[in-house]
């Protein structure tokens, strides 16, 4: 869904993602406060079910000099579905800034919503 149907994210998880618009290029190619975040797809490796996003505009960039997230789905053995693994790479603007646990938790929750949505199709 992240690489080819990202426009369906608001349908899959409407309470967490209300809108998803393509800023440039082509679809699928290379804490309680609502925020806007614009990401650029940096890499898509379909054979590995891997996609990498870089935040290019967001309040996150007030706390982090850079913020990259990767999502990879590993197929389950012996059945349908897969396991989603999220990796966050970031550089804090200072040592006072905490780690982005809430962003990681949001990624987990959105992944669960996407799973539920795909199972109903």
Q: 3-class SS at 81?
A: coil
Tell me, what's the pLDDT at 53?
93
Please, is 63 exposed, middle or buried when counting C-beta atoms within 10 Å of its C-beta (0-12, 13-18, 19+)?
Answer: middle
The CATH label, of 2.40.50.140, 3.30.9.10, 3.40.190.10, 3.30.530.20, for the domain at 6-120 is 3.30.530.20
**7-16 pLDDT per residue, tens:** 788 888 888 7
Enumerate the domain spans of the chain. 6-120
pLDDT tens-digit series, residues 22-71: 766 655 444 545 667 899 999 999 999 999 999 999 888 999 999 999 99
3-state class (DSSP) for residue 59: helix
């Amino acid at each position: 869904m992240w690489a080819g149907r990202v426009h369906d994210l608001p349908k899959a998880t409407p309470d967490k993602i209300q809108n998803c618009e393509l800023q440039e290029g082509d679809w699928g190619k290379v804490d309680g406060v609502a925020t806007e975040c614009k990401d650029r797809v940096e890499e898509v490796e379909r054979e590995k079910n891997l996609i990498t996003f870089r935040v290019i505009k967001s309040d996150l960039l007030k706390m982090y000099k850079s913020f990259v997230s990767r999502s990879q789905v590993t197929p389950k053995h012996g059945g349908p579905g897969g396991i989603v693994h999220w990796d966050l790479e970031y550089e804090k603007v200072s040592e006072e800034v905490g780690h982005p646990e809430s962003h990681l938790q949001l990624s987990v929750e959105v992944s669960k919503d996407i799973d539920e949505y795909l199972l109903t199709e």
